[in-house]
Amino acid sequence: MGRSMRCRAIVVALSLVVSGAALADDLGLEVFTKIAQPSCALCHTLQAAGATGAVGPSLDELAPDRERVVRAVRDGVGVMPSFDGQLTPQQIEAVAEFVAKVTARH
């Protein structure tokens, strides 16, 4: 395989990774705003989702990591119900990745 073909293959592979990440972000946002019932946006503030809920903690301020979000969504915490059984494992992972990514402190 020539250099030109290798470069094209790398570009294609990178675009698939980027589009896969965008799809995961889209699913995470969708779970946060629409799929989970009640909606995460109803209770939590999260700027990236346009959410201004005031019942639960502001996720922008809390900036939880992915694992913390997975546990909270799967098991519930405080007055927050468990979404285990309502959301698929893929949806829970997607919303956790989304929240962790958009709230990560740089």
Residue 102 CA to residue 2 CA, distance in Å, equals 39
What integer pLDDT is reported at residue 20 of this predicted model? 47
Q: Which residues pair with 77 in a beta bridge?
A: 80
Q: Is 38 helix (H, G, I), strand (E, B) or coil?
A: coil
pTM of structure = 0.77
Domain 3-103: which topology? Cytochrome Bc1 Complex; Chain D, domain 2 (1.10.760)
CA distances from 42 to 11, 16, 58 (A): 40, 33, 11
| Annotated domain spans of the chain | 3-103
Cβ contacts of residue 51 below 8 Å, gap of 6+? 32, 33, 40, 41, 44, 45
Q: Region 75-86: what's the mean pLDDT?
A: 96
Q: Region 52-76: what's the mean pLDDT?
A: 97
